[in-house]
Chain A
């Protein structure tokens, strides 16, 4: 366990709301940077999945360009699903999560910070990598901004939805298939609006409308998902 997590539990009462979030963010990011291999896995997975489509469909860029939004988003959805395993697994195994529950700090807030760290570690790299994968599918350079924005915003919602699923399956061994069964149906609106925004960006049209809808889902997720995640973690820690 890292020193910052200890700080959270020992300086109980003295630690302010934002201090808790800062410590949690710093701890999770520091720990993740020590395990770079784990961090790269979802990105490699994303690259492999986007490689599968040209092999499966056709190498013609004109045909690939048409399916590029769907390919990018399905790949992003699947790799964020893969990354979810790292969200709570280690902390649940070594008992850190239990300490978080017992720390006296707001568990909802702590898990929100944890999910935010997870988004920084998985969502942001995915968003930065999406245009690269897009280029290989014949996407014009002018759409890079739109792709980055939509994937960055969409992964906020995906991380939050995923945190609920990951917390619910904490007590289940070998939970990969179950986790996808729980989170994918809930993620479908994100896929729909994300792919739409990407498609409009590729066509060079205004993509603000689906982006607003993605933002709305993200805001709703920020408001409600941490509550459900905290409840699910408590249930599995009882």
Chain B
């Protein structure tokens, strides 16, 4: 009996209603945090003693880079849940994660490249973290490519779930191999962010942005899962009642 809540999580109508109720909470909190964090980071925080105002791109770059991995893990976990327990909603969630994650990865790459232009003088440096983000973007593209290539939804779900799980096993391997590859070939990176202390006026906006981006992802995920459920269950009778 205590497990009924768990079973309800696998039911599309329940998730549809739950997502609809929860979306505004996450979206508004995310919006407030991001606006507050942006203001704190771009206006209130003092300029860096070495990088001047250039460092402020970190308020977008670092949270996006964090989200690129976080979304991939979420995608792989929900794909695995869908694969193991054959829960359709979990597959829908995994499918919804991919474009969001790819977008965050893309933002992380673009902001990293802009930052690199100011710090290294070039738009692209084969820095291990940037290279890793690039490979991660390819993995997202592969996932989406496989999903769109298979017409049957159920088969696409399960095949792409296998790919997501294989991909997440590879993420740490790629991370470390890129790190070692770079340290073997290049002088230590120009950029050294390892400062002993970050003053709270810089750190608090950054943490707000991290939390804001995470909640933004949850809000986007909820909206996308609803769209995904609508698309998948379009012939189900409950949809008609829910929509009208």
- Chain A contacts to B: CB under 8 angstroms: 164, 168-169, 171-172, 175, 178, 181-182, 184-186, 188-189, 192-193, 196, 213, 217, 220, 224-225, 228, 231-232, 235-236, 238
Contacts and interface: CB of A to CB of B under 8 A. Distances in A.
Given A181-B141, A185-B135, A232-B159, A175 B149 contact: yes
Q: How large is the interface on B (under 10, 10 to 19, 20 to 34, 35 or more residues)?
A: 20 to 34
B178 A192 contact: yes
Contacts of B145: 178, 181-182
B150 A171 contact: yes
A184 B162 contact: no
B99 to A, nearest CB: 16
B203 to A, nearest CB: 34
Interface of B: 83, 135, 138-139, 141-142, 145-146, 149-150, 152, 155, 158-159, 162-163, 165-167, 169-170, 173-174, 177-178, 180-181, 184
Q: DSSP majority for the A interface?
A: helix
Given A172-B149, A181-B141, A185-B139, A192 B155 contact: no
Contacts of A164: 162-163, 166
Contact of A168 (B83, B139, B163, B177): B163
Given A189-B170, A224-B169, 19 more contacts: A172-B146, A172-B150, A178-B142, A181-B142, A182-B142, A185-B138, A186-B139, A186-B166, A186-B167, A189-B174, A192-B180, A196-B184, A220-B173, A224-B166, A235-B155, A235-B158, A235-B159, A235-B162, A236-B155
B177 A182 contact: no
B144 to A, nearest CB: 10
A238 B170 CA distance: 27
A228 B149 contact: no
A128 B216 CA distance: 53
A171 B160 CA distance: 12
A236 B159 contact: yes
Contacts of A235: 155, 158-159, 162
A193 B177 contact: yes
A196 B158 contact: no
B165 to A, nearest CB: 7
Nearest to A235: B158
Contact of A178 (B149, B167, B184): B149
A169 B149 contact: yes
A184 B138 contact: yes
A232 B162 contact: yes
Contacts of A238: 155
B128 to A, nearest CB: 11
Nearest to B165: A228
Nearest to A195: B181
Contacts of B141: 181
